[in-house]
Amino acid sequence: EAGVAQSPRYKIIEKRQSVAFWCNPISGHATLYWYQQILGQGPKLLIQFQNNGVVDDSQLPKDRFSAERLKGVDSTLKIQPAKLEDSAVYLCASSHYTGRSSGNTIYFGEGSWLTVV
C-alpha cells in the first residue's frame, strides 16, 4: 500500500515570497491533516479535513496560511507571505476515520522541509 505522498520535499524561499505544498493521502482515507514541526519540537496541528470539510483549523495562522481539499482527496497548503519563523517541516497525515468507524491510526508522509531566508 502506498503511503502519504508529499511534494516538494525541500524548498528554500525568501521572506515575503509564497510557497505551496501538496499532499496525496493514502487511498480511501477520509481524514487528512497538516502539521507544522519546528526543529526540536513535536508536530503541531494546523488544519484537519474530513473529506472536503474542515474539522479544525483553530491553529492555522489564517492571515498567511491557507489549505484546501477541494475533491476530498489531494490537499494543498499555501503560505503567503512567508516569514522567517515559518521555517519548519510541514507534515501531511491521513487516516481512514470517517467519524463512524474505527481505523483511526494516523499515517504520516515524509514531510516538506521549508527554509525561509
Partner 1 sequence: GESVGLHLPTLSVQEGDNSIINCAYSNSASDYFIWYKQESGKGPQFIIDIRSNMDKRQGQRVTVLLNKTVKHLSLQIAATQPGDSAVYFCAELSLNAGNMLTFGGGTRLMVKP
* x/- letters, 32..51, toward partner 1 (CB under 8 A): -x-----xxxxxxx--x-x-
Q: Which phi and psi angles does 86 have, rounded to 5°?
A: -80, -5
Residue 9 region, left (φ>0) first, then alpha (ψ -120 to 50), else beta?
alpha
Q: Using CB under 8 A, pick the residue from 5, 13, 26, 55 that binds partner 1.
A: 55
Q: Using CB under 8 A, pick the residue from 86, 95, 114, 116 that binds partner 1.
A: 95
Nearer to partner 1, 65 or 90 (CB): 90
CA distance 5 to 67: 16
Q: Of 15-23, 60-68, 69-77, 98-106, which segment contacts partner 1 by CB under 8 A?
A: 98-106
CA distance 48 to 70: 13
Verify binding: residue 31, partner 1, rule CB under 8 A: yes
Verify binding: residue 22, partner 1, rule CB under 8 A: no
Question: Which residues make Cβ contacts (< 8 Å) with residue 59, sequence separation at least 6?
Answer: 44, 45, 46, 47
Q: What is the DSSP letter of 49?
A: E
Query: Which spans of this chain sit near partner 1 (rule: CB under 8 A)?
Result: 4, 31, 33, 39-45, 48, 50, 55-56, 91, 93, 95, 97, 99, 104-111
